Amino acid sequence: MIRSRRETLGAHTLIRGDCTTVLRRMSSQTVDVVVTSPPYNLGIEYRTYQDQLPEDAYLDWMEDVCASVKRIMKDDGSFFLNIAGSSSQPWLPFELMSRLRKLFVLQNHITWIKSISVGEITYGHFKPLNSPRFVNRNHEHIFHLTKKGDVKVARLDAGVPFTDKSNISRRQHEMDRRCRGDTWFIPYETVRSRKEKFSHPGTFPIALPEACLRLHGAKPGGVLLDPFMGVGTSLIAAERKGLSGIGVEKDTRYVNIARKRLRAAIGTREEDWEDE
Ligand SMILES: C[S@@+](CC[C@H](N)C(=O)[O-])C[C@H]1O[C@@H](n2cnc3c(N)ncnc32)[C@H](O)[C@@H]1O
């Protein structure tokens, strides 16, 4: 059992603790947007968390966490759940979504493309897989879950400019912007050293939670929650967009990295916490 500890950094609250218990203590209908990437149950080597539960236990646990998320979320809130399967466990994300059908409407299903080849040119970082059976996995899922499926999204804020500008007047668009669609190419930022990888095996790029916040139409002063904060990537996106972030993470070392990253983003300094 980990002792919870919390800190306020600017507009944000970072909590070292188990989200299963922390979320139960949070007030209902207080969060605008949830952006999170839980453990995928694929045996990823986190520092303390063992990412290999029996499948039913994993699904029960995730269902329980997501039920708390639903209670905490406002009725017009958005829950962006990033998850992936593997070649040997391709069904897992879909098994989870089938459980979550009882709780949420799947309003949008976005494919996060981490690398892509267009013609002969590859964009993004390509991690080779040497398999006689499987092709490389270059994508993950972002499930956009809402309570009733009727949340208005800011398609154009999250959109892209027209390539053919003649479309603007021809189709009477008010601005040079069209919907991006449901495939988002967001490569990892290039890192020059191991230190920049934050000693965490499964982060997402800051541009991913930023895109989710844009699609939701999140406004400054709104509240973002990440129950599986890791090294705080979604809280940095919240800081950049003027939202207050609440992040929960059970591993002290990851919380300390999140604290450092967030302090750098808002411009303050302080000492590390110790395990207790
Ligand atoms: C996929 S990572 C999240 C990474 C994050 N998106 C980032 O960019 O840093 C999942 C995180 O959940 C944490 N975790 C696992 N079980 C948890 C729990 N019960 N409560 C809070 N955090 C937990 C793990 O330690 C891990 O850092």
- Structural domain count, the chain: 1
Pocket test for ligand 1, best of 49, 226, 234 (most atoms within 8 A of CB): 49
For residue 87, give both structure tokens.
Answer: 């070649």
Whole-angstrom Cα distance, residue 172 to residue 14? 46
- Show the domain range for 147: 5-266
Q: Report if residue 45 sits inside a domain.
A: yes
Q: Report if residue 273 sits inside a domain.
A: no
Measuring from each residue's beta carbon to the nearest atom of ligand 1, which residues come in under 6 Å?
Answer: 18-20, 37-39, 46, 49, 200, 202-204, 228, 230-231, 233, 248-251, 254
Q: How far is the CA of 9 from the centre of ligand 1 (A)?
A: 19
* CATH code at position 57: 3.40.50.150
Measured by CA distance, the residue closest to atom 26 of ligand 1 is: 230
Measured by CA distance, the residue closest to atom 19 of ligand 1 is: 18
Q: Report if residue 161 sits inside a domain.
A: yes
pLDDT tens for the chain, residues 1 to 276: 788 999 999 999 999 999 999 999 999 999 999 999 999 998 888 888 888 899 999 999 999 999 999 999 999 999 999 999 999 899 999 999 999 999 999 999 999 999 999 999 999 987 777 889 999 999 999 999 999 999 999 999 889 998 888 888 887 788 888 899 999 999 998 776 665 566 888 899 999 999 999 999 999 999 999 999 999 999 999 999 999 999 999 999 999 999 999 999 998 766 788 887
Q: Closest Cα to residue 215, out of 64, 80, 25?
A: 80
Whole-angstrom Cα distance, residue 14 to residue 230? 11
